[in-house]
Amino acid sequence: MSGNRKLIIEDVKVIVSCPGRNFVTLKITTESGIYGLGDATVNGREQAVATYLREHVAPCLIGRNAHEIEDIWQYLYKGVYWRKGPINMASIAAVDVALWDIKGKAADLPVYELLGGKSRRGVGVYVHATGNTVEDTLDRAGELVGQGYQAIRLQSSVPGLDGSYGVLGDKKDYFELQNDRPLPPEHPWSTKKYMNSIEELFVEARKRFGNELHLLHDVHSRLTPIEAARLGKMLEPYDLLFLEDAVAAENQESYRIVRDHTTTPLAIGEIYNTIWDCKDMIQNQWIDYIRTASTHAGGITALRRIADFAALYHVRIAPHGAPDLSPICYAAQSHIDIWAPNFGIQEFVGFGTEKSNEVFSHDLKMVDGMLHVGDRPGLGVDFDEEAAAKYPYNRSYLPVSRLEDGTLWSW
């Protein structure tokens, strides 16, 4: 394989920094000076993926032609023998995204133009309203509606549980860095208490906001299939845009049970690593939205393939957009979102903190609840290595969840 316009990879750098959150950033530089950026952040396991990239991937990239994205993807997937897995796939994703960035810069085009161009004016997003009580949550949702957002994910603490999904007992949001705790914080969970309280949130939301606003909810894989089926039926009158991660689905077949019982649209996929993880779910039409993230499912090359496959079955993409995905991942997904004919909605939790904005810059804009992708060549993101050096890695864990009797549960 050759090609007349080779861009030879000269340097591969892995930078782990913590500008408010831990991020693993990959920088691939070519002999021409053109460089590309990729994100390889696996929340809570950052050093594993950084080591994998430094020790095992970087040496294989030096001297290769950066234009050969597909061959390099296959080389890192099939070639290593060990397929799939979050660490492997996040590493492949970082390389893939950095190479698309390079290709865009070399072509002097934004990446979405290389994918086939824009399919829409802007990218529709959903934002989060979270609170300790139904009223707090809806007050927050009201503020977001005031800012022009048209789709809101509602999460509220479960009465009777001291700290539960979405809101920690001591009010520290689970999205924040949990670095003041040596070990993962622990949350109690009771499906009974959750099922007894959840409907009120949506009853009150529809009373307050009427029927136009899109509402969403994330269950974080805490139910069994038949419980999720009951929840889906219970929430049907409130017309959710989707119910996310109702059941953990290593066994994709679980979704058949949920699907058979409810017309509430279903979404899953933020922890899936490959197209294989969602294959049955998509081709059996058990879900409506696939939420695979660029960083965790193998980059732009893989996400594009998942989107095209999903389109055959009326499944739309709704990429994961939590703050533990770096702005580089966010940019990569935005280019996919603006192109994909079967785009659904993008999760959005803000453009980062003061510190992260010092380290990462991007040309995305939010206008009236819609994300606009800029037209800089490549991904339109940049990374300031000097600024990043000011914020060294800071170990932090996601919380874990236990039933009230101490049994470890899904989170």
What is the binding site for ligand GCO (CB under 6 A)? 43, 218, 220, 270, 320, 322, 324, 347, 398
Q: Which is nearer to ligand GCO, 17 or 346 (CB)?
A: 346
Q: How far is the CB of 367 from ligand GCO (least distance, A)?
A: 22
> How many other C-beta atoms lie within 10 A of the C-beta of residue 305?
15
Q: Which is nearer to Mg ion, 242 or 391 (CB)?
A: 242
What backbone phi and psi angles, to 5 degrees, belong to 356?
-70, -30
Using the CB atoms, write b or e for 59-78: b if 16+ within 10 Å.
ebbeebbbbbbeebbebbbe
Q: Are strands 346-347 and 123-131 parallel, antiparallel or unpaired?
A: parallel
Cβ 288 vs Cβ 310: under 8 Å: no
Residues in the site for Mg ion, rule: CB under 5 A?
218, 270
As annotated, the active-site residues are: 165, 220
Taking CB atoms, the residue at the shortest distance from ligand GCO is 322
Q: How far is the CB of 393 from ligand GCO (least distance, A)?
A: 16
Report DSSP letters for 245-296, one per residue.
--B--SSTTHHHHHHHH--S-EEE-TT--SHHHHHHHHHTT--SEE---HHH
Q: Which is nearer to ligand GCO, 269 or 378 (CB)?
A: 269
Q: Which is nearer to ligand GCO, 234 or 322 (CB)?
A: 322
Q: How far is the CB of 349 from Mg ion (least distance, A)?
A: 11
Sign of the torsion angle spanned by Cα atoms 324, 131, 190, 170: positive
Residue 324: contacted member of Mg ion, ligand GCO, none (CB under 5 to 8 Å, by partner type) = ligand GCO
Q: How far is the CB of 163 from ligand GCO (least distance, A)?
A: 15
Residue 322: contacted member of ligand GCO, Mg ion, none (CB under 5 to 8 Å, by partner type) = ligand GCO
Q: Which is nearer to ligand GCO, 114 or 161 (CB)?
A: 161
Collect all residues with Cβ–Cβ distance below 8 Å to 58 and sequence separation of at least 6: 12, 14
Measure Cα distances from 104 to 92, 95, 101 in Å.
Answer: 18, 14, 5
Cα 293 versus chain centre, distance:
4
Q: How far is the CB of 67 from Mg ion (least distance, A)?
A: 35
Residue 296: contacted member of Mg ion, ligand GCO, none (CB under 5 to 8 Å, by partner type) = none
Residue 347: contacted member of Mg ion, ligand GCO, none (CB under 5 to 8 Å, by partner type) = ligand GCO
Collect all residues with Cβ–Cβ distance below 8 Å to 340 and sequence separation of at least 6: 119, 304, 307, 311, 317
